Each structure stands twice: as C-alpha cells, then as structure tokens.
C-alpha cells in the first residue's frame, strides 16, 4: 500500500492510495488521475442531477403529469426517477414485453399506472428494479388497478346514490362505511369530533381506516353499522352506505342497541363449569350488586358464580339487563339435566329420646327418703 501523487484531468492536484501488486500500481494511479478530482466529480454529478431534474419537470409539464407529494428532497429526486421509469417502459419492445407476459395493448396501461402515482416515496421505493423484473413484480397490481379504473365511473354513481346528508350538515365529504359479517370499516379525513364518535363506539385505527370487529356478542354487523351511521348523521356528518336497508336504518335510528352485559360460560381451567357475568359499560354499583350473589368471586374482570345458583343469576340478569350467551344457556341446561339423574330419597326422621332425670324418677317412685340421702 502506497500513496501516489498526480494531477487530475480538471487540473487539480491530489493523491490516491494504491494497493496490490507493485507492477500494477502505477497503471492504476495513472488511470485514477485521468478522471476528475473528488470535488469536481461530485460537482459534475450534482449538475447532471439538476439538469435531469429540470428536463424531467419540463416533460412532466408537457405530459400534464400530477404534482408529486412528499418532502422537498423526496420530490426533487422522484421527479427524475419518474421520468426514468416512464422512458424505460416506453423503450420496451414487443419481445421484451412478451418475455414477461405483457401484451402490446397493456403497455399503455402500465404507463397510465405509473403516471397516476402521486407520492414521491413510491418512485423512490421502486427505483432499484430492473425494468423487466419490476414488471413481473407489479403486473398483478397494475391489472387490478386497470379493472378498478374501468369500473370507477360505476362506483362513483353507486357512491352518489348511497350518500345522504343531514340537515345540519357541517362537512362536504361523507364518511364511507363498509360492512361485512365480521367487520365494519369507516373512513373520513382527520377530524376530532369524528374520532370521538368512533372511539366511543369501540372502533380502532389501523391500515388507514377505523374498524371494529364483529362477533356474536356485539353484533349483528347491520345493527352496528346503522348505529354508527345514525350517530354520525346526528353529529352533522354525511355518510355513504351502499346497503339500502342499513342506510335507511341509520337515518331512522332503527337498530337494536348493542348488548353490553352478558352471562357467559367460563372457559378458563380455573373456573370451568361456572357462570361469568361481564359488562363493558362502567358501573361501580353493578359490581357491588353482583358481588352479593351467592359465593360470587371477582376474577379477570368478570364476576364468577357457580352454575348451581343459576336461578339467582337469572333473577339478577332480568333486573339489570344481562343477556345469556348460548354457551351459558347450555351449561345451565346440562346442570338441570344432571339433577334429573341424581338419586332422590325420602329420609326417615328419627326422633331423639329426651334425656331421663334418674334422680327425679327415684324420688317420685317412693315417699321414703333414701338412706344415702339422709343426714
């Protein structure tokens, strides 16, 4: 390893550290100094990047491409990356397209897909792919995008027909509510009033939308969606629900309230075969009253009661609005059935003899005083 000094092609002097066999070192040093010095090389690269960015901006303007979103540095880089990707796609010939299963008619779809992207980060994330490898990776996504574009006008008409505005409407865009048997999602721009409503109804934020999973205890989904829609409408939010019945129920407030108090069968090993009273609405008085049930025990957020006291639990449930789960009903029925098989007997009541006062009996048997009792 040794330092070699020389003059770069830009006229600046410098040095470089060369390693390897001695016979090749001078050749490597000469080759190194035929280039620009590090400062001039970096300056030239910056000028080339800026020139490419300006050219890309001019082309984007002519092609009427959308403005990119992101930080200043991200946008400055992504403008060039976008144009490079467009150029690579445009230069693909029939053979290259065929090698990855793309037809000539799909070439424009691919370009449209790329030109529809508005996030600078998307082009940065997709910068390192070879174009054919990139096409193979993205082809399924592009074709799905194309289908969505084809039905977009239909979906827009459906959305328009499925949107209602309250009289006291305070927002231009509707909250879009989607319903399945196991999940409800709702999307809306960031808004504190909206957030408070969905949070109060048990919704969670994730993957760009608010959602709530539906199960047999908080459903059915149609009622929860109508409830959400009704709450939003009354708060001045327009809503979109494609299901006509759910939408009308949201308007009229026609939905069954969510049951928040349940009697269930315990599933834990510790309390298996017992009943559990649980409630999600905060109520200290309810805890105090439930604790008075026979041998009631608080465990893991539930009040545990032996199934033998199902009648007391049933009376309590009727008084305080508890519903019985199917598993709890089954547990009670099994307990009742077990009582039918129990051996029932009629025990004989044995009367116990009263203790006898022996001395009194002797005294009563003779008027004479016993010798043992004489002074």
pLDDT along the chain (375 residues), means of 10: 86 88 86 89 84 86 91 92 93 91 89 94 88 91 89 80 92 94 95 95 93 91 96 96 95 94 92 93 86 93 94 96 94 92 83 73 60 56
Tokens of 368: 């004479």
Angle, alpha carbons 90-92-98 (nearest 5°)? 135
| CA pair distance 296, 305, nearest whole angstrom | 5
pLDDT of residue 111: 94
Strands 209-213 and 163-164: unpaired
Tokens of 21: 């066999």
Alpha-carbon distances, residue 107 vs 64, 65, 89, 118, 349 (angstroms): 19, 18, 8, 20, 99
pLDDT of residue 171: 92
pLDDT of residue 22: 84
**Tokens 């994730």 found at:** 206
pLDDT of residue 369: 54
Burial class (CB in 10 A: 0-12, 13-18, 19+), 63: exposed
Tokens of 145: 């995008």
| CA pair distance 44, 26, nearest whole angstrom | 26
| CA pair distance 204, 126, nearest whole angstrom | 31
Tell me how far apart the 2 most distant CA atoms of the chain are, in Å. 156
| CA pair distance 32, 35, nearest whole angstrom | 6
Edge-to-edge order in the sheet of strand 261-265: 297-299, 302-306, 274-279, 261-265, 323-324
Q: Which letter does DSSP use for residue 296 in this model?
A: -
pLDDT of residue 375: 55
pLDDT of residue 344: 79
pTM: 0.55
What is the topology classification, in CATH, of domain 164-252? Translation Initiation Factor Eif1 (3.30.780)
Burial class (CB in 10 A: 0-12, 13-18, 19+), 89: buried
- H or E stretch including 59? helix 38-63
């Amino acid at each position: 390893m040794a330092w070699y000094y020389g003059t770069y092609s830009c006229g600046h002097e410098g040095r470089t550290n060369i390693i390897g066999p001695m016979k090749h070192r001078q050749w490597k040093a000469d080759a190194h100094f035929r280039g620009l010095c590090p400062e001039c090389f970096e300056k030239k690269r910056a000028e080339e990047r800026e020139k490419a960015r300006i050219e890309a901006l001019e082309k984007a303007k002519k092609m009427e491409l959308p403005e990119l979103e992101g930080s200043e540095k991200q946008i400055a880089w992504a403008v060039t990356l976008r144009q490079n990707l467009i150029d690579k796609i445009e230069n693909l010939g029939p053979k290259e397209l065929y090698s990855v299963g793309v037809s000539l008619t799909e070439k424009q779809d691919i370009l449209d897909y790329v030109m529809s992207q508005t996030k600078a980060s998307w082009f940065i994330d997709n910068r390192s792919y070879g174009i054919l490898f990139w096409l193979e990776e993205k082809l399924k996504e592009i074709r799905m995008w194309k289908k969505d574009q084809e039905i977009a006008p239909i979906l827009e008409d459906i959305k328009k027909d499925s949107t209602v505005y309250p009289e006291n409407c305070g927002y231009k865009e509707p909250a879009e509510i989607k319903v399945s048997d196991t999940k409800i999602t709702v999307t809306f721009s960031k808004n504190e009033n909206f957030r408070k409503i969905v949070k109060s109804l048990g919704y969670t934020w994730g993957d760009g939308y608010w959602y709530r999973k539906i199960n047999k205890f908080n459903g059915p989904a149609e009622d929860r969606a109508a409830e959400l829609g009704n709450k939003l409408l009354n708060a001045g939010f327009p809503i979109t629900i494609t299901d006509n019945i759910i939408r009308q129920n949201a308007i009229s407030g026609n939905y069954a309230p969510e049951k928040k108090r349940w009697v269930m069968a315990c599933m834990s090993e510790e309390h298996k075969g017992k009943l559990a009273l649980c409630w999600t609405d905060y109520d200290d008085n309810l805890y105090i009253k439930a604790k008075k049930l026979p041998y009631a025990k608080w465990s893991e957020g539930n009040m545990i009661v032996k199934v033998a006291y199902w009648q007391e639990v049933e009376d309590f449930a009727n008084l305080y609005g508890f519903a019985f789960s199917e598993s709890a009903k089954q547990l009670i029925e099994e307990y009742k059935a077990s009582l039918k098989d129990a051996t029932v007997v009629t025990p004989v009541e044995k009367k116990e003899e009263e203790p006898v006062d022996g001395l009194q009996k002797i005294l009563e048997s003779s008027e004479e005083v016993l010798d043992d009792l004489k002074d």
